[in-house]
Every structure is written in structure tokens, then in C-alpha cells.
Structure 1
Amino acid sequence: MGEQIRALIKEQNYFSADDDLKRIQLVQELLAARFPFENLDVLLKVETPITPRFIEEKMLQHGRGGLCYELNALQHLILRELGYNVFLSSATVSSGNGWAEDRTHVLNLLYREEKLYAIDSGFGSNLPLHPIELDGPFVTSPAGSFRLCTLKTEKGTIAFQSKNEQGWETRYAFYPEKVEWKDLNRIKKEIHNSARSLFNRELLMARLLPESTLSVNEDRLQIKGGKNGNQKLHFSTYDEMLESIKVNFPESIYQAAVQYVHTKREGMENA
């Protein structure tokens, strides 16, 4: 794995940065550019256990993206390879309807100079692109402004928040506790099979662009921000959706989407 990582981070001028937090930021920018958020393995019922080997094969070798337990697992492997003592943790996502499935979001945490930082490359297109210091300054990316604060909730003592027109909104909460790789498989099973999961119903894909965010579901393509402002393109057919994916995502993800549409059409014909 070492040579693959070295080749990737060399493109980001990683070794020219002399500050650890800046170097981690460069890794986050690399992950955002190369590995989109996508749930095709859930829809295609790929039940392979989450292991370092699986992550390397799926993402580094085959160029796929994934969900938080894959994207942040890859981030974990890269940062550990680079010498950072990060550890995996789990959080509970907050939504307009309350809390989602308990502890099904994965992120990385780092203690540095007695300060705690959250490092998250797996929260859809809502990516800070910076390590966020607990109770430190907020950070800004094309996705908006984000902060990490001490806040006691029923789901944890730390909250990851984003800023909107009404103020700061809690997006997820967690306790700063380490989880093992086996816990990623618990999360994967819940995401795949739970009736409360948001990711086992329809296609959801997202990526962060240099000045905007882009997302695709089975109804539309949406771009937020950038020079042209917010844009939305509605799909009339699956072919239109696939064409949009082909233009905006890597070839390997497009091919997985083609497979998904094929299985969905077969299901409709056999219904």
C-alpha cells in the first residue's frame, strides 16, 4: 500500500508542507477529489466485510468511492501509513426528523499537542477539508463553514456543526472513543439492512468540486455554489441519470451505476 499512497500524495505536494495539520488537509483534499461519496455497493448488495485489503482493492485499485465507513477507513489507512496516530470513532447523525441509526457514521480522531481534532472525509459533500479542532476556530470549504464543539447530547459530548442562515446546526454527535475495524462491519450491516437507513433505498452520490458541491440521486443532478450559482437538472429516464454520472464521476463508478440500473430494470420486468 505504501507505494500507492506515496504516488497519490506526491500529486498534492504533500511533502512540501511542513505543518502536520496542513499535510492532513492535503490528504483530505486528495480524497475529496479522487473518491466520491456513493452507495452503489449497498444497492448492489455487496456484503464483503470491511477490511484494509477490501478498502485497498475497492478504492485504490478499482477507483471506486464509498460511504463513510469506507472513505474514512481509507483516510485512516493513509494517515496511519504517513505516521499519524489517528483512531476510528463512530457518531450518530442528526437530521430534521431526529437522530438517525445509532453510531453509524465513521470518522477519524487525532490527539495533537493535547488538542482533539476530527478528520472527516465521508460526510457526503459536506466536507470541511480541514482537521477541525475541538472548541477551536471554525473552518471553511466550498461546502460551507464547520466547527467542532463540546456539547452534551443524548448521542455524545461532542458535536460536529455546520452553519446555515439560522446559525449553527448539529450534524452529528459522538463520544471521543475508539472503535475497531469489526465495528465498521456492524455499521455496514445496519446501513445495508435497516429500515431506517437512508442509503439502501435509492442511488445517492456526491462530490466536492473546487468551488461547489455536486450531488446525484435518481431524480436529479444538483450543483450548489460556484460561479454559475445553484443548478438543478431533473432526469426523465435512467439513461439521462447514467449520462450525468458518466460526465461527473469516474468510469468505475459509472460502470457500477450501469450494473445497478440493469438490476433495477430486471426487477421491474419481473415484478
Structure 2
Amino acid sequence: MSDLNVLFRKRIGIPEDETITFSTLDRVLEKTAKTFPFENLCNIENKTKDITEESLLQKMLVRNEGGLCYELNSLLYLFLLENGFHVTLVRGDVYKPETGEYQSLGRTHLTILLKHGEQTYLVDTGFGANLPLKPVPLTGETVTSATGQFRVINADTGPGDYRLELKLKHKDKEWRIGYAFDSTRPVSDLGEASEIQSIIARHPDSPFNKSRMVTKLTDRGNVTLTPHSLTRWEDGVVTKESIDEKRFKELLGELFTN
């Protein structure tokens, strides 16, 4: 068993001798989502490194940090590959519901496609608090989890042949687009993750190079930390606390380092 496999299991709390199957993948995804923060701290602090298996291992399994989609899903991809799953990485375009358009950054979302039997599924642990927590089949079938409802449908128009749609629990009354992706263009190697990282870190329209942000799912919802506030969603109720830099550092350690 590789170091990555051992350390990933240790961080999310799964025994080394447990065989991970498709039927137990829900549990793995939920534990992963509640362990690894979605955060941009390295971008803001100008501490990014090329995305490699070793850099991901050091960042998220040795130093116990989190990351953005190109880190979180790359790490999960390597873990699933190590455990015998047929997986590929693909790139997607994130939709902006406030403008009714896809982001100008292009295909900067990195996600995972998993083949099981005769079916292909979307698996994602790098979409902030918008995580299905289960494999979502590319058939239009609705998948329901603790976070809401999710489906992947054929996209006749837009930047890809499929798109993820979601209705988050306590937040969305109607279906909305998460992102579109192209299932016919698998990522060739982790060098493409480094390319995405460069765009996210430098593009003027990137939402992840302006200010520090850390978020993670919890048993009752999610929690988000910025330099000025701590926001909790718990059972559909939102509370917001104003904080200063000292409190930011305290909360970062208390809530997001495990």
C-alpha cells in the first residue's frame, strides 16, 4: 500500500485493511468532504507549487491542509486509482447563476468520472459546499444526499456535453447549473491541474485570488471562514460572527485542521 493510500485513509478515518467498494464509496466521499477544507490560502500567500502526487501528499496528507478543486479532486483521483477504481479526470466550466453565464476563466474546474459496470458517474469533492457526497450517474437520474439533490444531464448547448445541476438543501427551490464538463476530453496528466492552478491564481476574474476563504461541510451543514467573518449553516439556519485576524487564525486551527 502506497504512502498516499495509507495517509489518506488515516486522515479521513478509514482502516488500512478495509476494502473500498463502489457500495461503500458514499461513506468515503462524506468523510473526505468533512475532513479536507476547500480553501485558497496558498494562492493568497503566493505559496503554490506544481501539482504532483508528491506535492499533494505533502500539502494535504502531511501538513493536513486543504485546497481547491484541482488539488482536492486530483488527490481523490489518485486515491481511487490506488484502490482499483476506473477513474479519469475531466475539466469543466463553472456557471455563475447571478449573471446567467459561465465564468470567463474557461475550463478551470477539475472533477472525476468513474466507471462502474456499464455506467459512468460523476464524483466530486472539490466544489466547495456544493458536494453530492455520492457518485452521480450520467443518466439524468436524481441523487439525494444530506446536502441536497444532484443530477447530471446531457448539455446540448454550452461548454461541454454534460452538466451538473443541483438543488441544495435549505437553499435552492429550483434546479440550478453547477458546471458543464466535457466527458470526451480526459485530462492527460496532473500537468493540466498545474495549468488550472496558474489561471486560478493569476486571472483577474478568478474568485480565489482576492481574499482568504476556507469552507468545509459539517454534520449539520457547513462552515465558512474569511478574514472578517465566520458563517455557519446548521440545519438550514445561518449565523454570522464578525472576527479579527487573531480570531481568524484561532478558528483556522480549531475548525479546519484535522
TM-score (norm 2): 0.88
CA distance in structure 2 between the partners assigned to 1:74 and 1:124 by the alignment: 15
Return the offset for 1:125.
1.5
| CA offset digits 1:216-271 (Å, max 9, x no partner) | 12232111133x82211122x222322332321117xxxxxxxxxxxxxxxxxxxx
- 1:233 partner amino acid: E
| Contiguous gaps of at least 5 residues in structure 2 | none
Specify the SS of the correspondent of 2:161: strand
CA distance in structure 1 between the partners assigned to 2:221 and 2:163 by the alignment: 24
Match of 1:216 in 2: 225
Contact 1:129 1:141 in 2 (8 A): yes
Return the offset for 1:131.
0.7
Aligned pair 1:32/2:33, yes or no? yes
Contact 1:69 1:184 in 2 (8 A): yes
Aligned pair 1:195/2:198, yes or no? no
| CA offset digits 1:185-230 (Å, max 9, x no partner) | 110100010001000000111101112111112232111133x822
Contact 2:8 2:61 in 1 (8 A): no
- 2:250 partner amino acid: E
Q: How many residues align?
A: 248
- 1:76 partner amino acid: Y
Contact 2:4 2:79 in 1 (8 A): no
Rg bigger for which structure? 1
Q: CA 1:141 to 1:159, structure 2 compared with 1: closer, same or farther past 3 Å?
A: same
Specify the SS of the correspondent of 1:145: strand
CA distance in structure 2 between the partners assigned to 1:80 and 1:36 by the alignment: 22
- 2:186 partner amino acid: K
CA distance in structure 2 between the partners assigned to 1:119 and 1:89 by the alignment: 11
Return the offset for 1:91.
0.4
Match of 1:23 in 2: 24
| CA offset digits 1:67-121 (Å, max 9, x no partner) | 0000001101100000111011110000122211111000110122221100000
| CA offset digits 1:21-62 (Å, max 9, x no partner) | 223222212321221111011011123110111111111111
| Contiguous gaps of at least 5 residues in structure 1 | 252-271
Return the offset for 1:4.
5.0
Contact 1:89 1:179 in 2 (8 A): yes
Specify the SS of the correspondent of 1:140: strand
Q: Greater helix percent: which structure?
A: 1
5 Å-filtered alignment, 1:1-271, equals 2-6=2-6, 8-9=8-9, 11-12=13-14, 20-95=21-96, 96-97=98-99, 98-100=101-103, 101-163=105-167, 165-176=172-183, 177-180=185-188, 181-226=190-235, 229-235=237-243, 237-250=244-257
CA distance in structure 2 between the partners assigned to 1:17 and 1:48 by the alignment: 32
Specify the SS of the correspondent of 1:69: helix
Specify the SS of the correspondent of 1:121: coil
How many percent of aligned residue pairs carry the same amino acid? 30
CA distance in structure 2 between the partners assigned to 1:161 and 1:86 by the alignment: 21
Specify the SS of the correspondent of 1:86: strand
TM-score (norm 1): 0.84
